[in-house]
Structure formats: structure tokens, C-alpha cells
């Protein structure tokens, strides 16, 4: 299988899949989208995507509605996207995406997580080129769909790769083509189950089980942090 399904396999293994950790992150993504473009999903494509991804994780409608209400209220938080790059145990590369309403707190916490777990934060831009930023789309394949025909339909919208496994289709593109490709799916009437931007290592490295166990302690602390939205590594 290609790199897209390597991503898919890795995504299934992500440690913050538990509801107690993933729901607040999804809610924050909804709040950010709603505050930026309004609380009506029909008029706000970013909000539609955030809601789509929340539903993919079985987030209850009441939680989704509450997040939109918070974002459109007079006391809505102002979140800023801040990225961190670092090296963890055994030289593993770690890219951290956060959304914060208190940058001082977030900087202090992220640095603490690295320092206490055998790692260190490095200057911004040091590691970004080790990761390819990709748009990832997923949907369930209808029985009558011809993937070759669909590929031709989507090439002009930015499609790079399309693969199918067990009835699930995964499409990848450059992150800059996210909006164009997302609209193409809408125009074709294809109902997505996920639509995300991900950072995929372009030179993944092998680590032993013992090494991964040590690395995992750092990743778990980062992923547990309320301000952290996503954590990426160069683990193969």
C-alpha cells in the first residue's frame, strides 16, 4: 500500500482517539471555524468540515451545538494557531499543532512536556521540511462508483492519490488544494466521512518497541494537553 494508507494505519493508532481527549479538541476546531466564518454550516465550509470530522468520531450533536453557541456568543475565546517543533527520546522528530487563548501558558507547558520526557523544543522551521502537509479525504465507496472515472474528475481539483481498501476510499492532495478538492466532492454529491489536513513524515524512521515506549510517554503528555490539537512524528 502507498503512503496514504500508511497514514491511515497511523491515524488508527493515534493515542488521543479516546473520547475524553478527542471531544474537546474537536469542539475547539468547531469553535474556531464558527467564530471565523459564522455559526451557519450552510454558509461556512470550514465549519461544515469541522462538524463532519466531529461526527466521524461520534461526537454528540449536543456537544457540536454547544461549541457553535460558545463561538458565536459575546464571551467567545480568541484562539491562535501556534506550532512547535522538537526532538524527543532517541532523536524522534515531533511536530505539535496547538490552538491557544493564552500563548504564555502554551509555550511553558509544551516546553515542560519535552524537557521532562527526554526531549527539547527546537527553533521554529527546523523540522517542518521533514513533513509533507497533505489534505486527506475519506469516504465509503458506493457499489456503482468507478474510481478511475472519479480520479479523472478530481485531477483538476488537485488530487494526487486515490486508494481503496475494504470499501473505504482515501484521497490525498497538497494542503493548498484542500478547499478546491473539498468543493469538488460537494459538487459531485460525494458524502465524506473525514476531511483533514495532516503532516506526514517524508523520511519515516524505525524505532524499537522499547524506544517507542519511551517516545510514547512524551507523546501522551503532549496529546493530553488541552491546547494541543495534533501531534506528528517521523515514526515509520
Residue that terminates a domain, selected from 28, 43, 72: 72
What's this model's pTM, rounded to 2 decimal places?
A: 0.86
For the chain, percent of residues with pLDDT exceeding 70: 92
Provide the pLDDT confidence category of residue 7 given band limits of 50, 70 and 90.
low
Please give the Cα distance from 159 to 88 (Å, whole number): 34
Per the CB < 8 A criterion, the answer to whether 176 and 169 are in contact is no
Predicted pLDDT of residue 1: 45
Q: Do residues 103 and 218 both lie within one domain?
A: yes
Q: Do residues 113 and 139 both lie within one domain?
A: no
For the stretch 172-176, contacts whose Cβ atoms lie closer than 8 Å and that sit 24 or more positions apart, written own/partner, are: 172/3, 172/4, 172/7, 172/134, 172/135, 172/136, 172/137, 173/134, 173/135, 173/137, 174/133, 174/134, 174/135, 175/133, 175/134, 175/135
- Give the model confidence (pLDDT) of 164-195 as tens digits: 999 999 999 999 999 999 999 999 999 999 99
Q: Do residues 191 and 208 both lie within one domain?
A: no
Please, is 14 exposed, middle or buried when counting C-beta atoms within 10 Å of its C-beta (0-12, 13-18, 19+)? middle
Which range of residues forms the domain containing residue 158?
131-200
- Give the model confidence (pLDDT) of 107-140 as tens digits: 999 999 999 999 999 999 999 899 999 999 999 9
Predicted pLDDT of residue 145: 93
Angle between helices 45-56 and 178-188 (to 10 degrees): 80
Alpha-carbon separation of residue 70 from 39, 74, 75 (angstroms)? 10, 8, 8
CATH classification at residue 99: 3.30.70.980
Q: Do residues 20 and 122 both lie within one domain?
A: no
- Give the model confidence (pLDDT) of 138-159 as tens digits: 999 998 999 999 999 999 999 9
Predicted pLDDT of residue 112: 98
Amino acid at each position: 500500500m502507498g503512503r496514504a494508507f500508511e497514514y491511515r494505519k497511523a491515524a488508527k493508532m493515534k493515542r488521543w482517539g479516546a473520547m475524553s481527549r478527542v471531544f474537546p479538541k474537536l469542539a475547539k476546531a468547531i469553535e474556531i471555524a464558527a467564530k471565523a466564518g459564522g455559526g451557519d454550516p450552510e454558509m461556512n465550509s470550514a465549519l461544515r468540515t469541522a462538524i463532519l470530522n466531529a461526527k466521524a468520531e461520534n461526537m454528540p450533536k449536543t456537544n457540536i451545538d454547544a461549541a457553535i453557541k460558545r463561538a458565536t456568543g459575546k464571551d467567545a475565546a480568541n484562539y491562535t494557531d501556534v506550532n512547535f517543533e522538537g526532538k524527543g527520546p532517541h532523536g524522534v522528530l515531533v511536530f505539535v499543532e496547538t490552538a491557544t487563548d493564552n500563548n504564555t501558558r502554551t509555550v511553558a507547558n509544551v516546553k515542560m512536556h519535552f524537557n521532562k520526557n527526554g526531549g527539547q523544543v527546537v527553533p521554529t522551521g527546523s523540522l517542518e521540511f521533514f513533513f509533507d502537509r497533505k489534505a486527506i479525504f475519506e469516504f465509503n465507496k458506493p457499489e456503482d462508483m468507478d474510481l478511475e472515472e472519479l480520479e479523472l474528475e478530481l485531477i483538476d481539483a488537485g488530487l494526487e492519490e486515490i486508494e481503496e481498501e475494504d470499501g473505504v476510499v482515501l484521497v490525498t492532495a497538497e494542503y493548498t488544494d484542500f478547499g478546491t478538492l473539498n468543493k469538488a466532492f460537494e459538487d459531485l454529491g460525494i458524502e465524506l466521512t473525514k476531511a483533514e489536513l495532516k503532516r506526514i513524515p517524508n523520511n519515516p524512521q524505525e524505532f524499537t518497541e522499547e524506544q517507542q515506549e519511551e517516545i510514547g510517554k512524551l507523546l501522551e503528555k503532549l496529546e493530553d494537553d488541552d491546547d494541543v490539537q495534533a501531534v506528528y512524528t517521523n515514526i515509520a
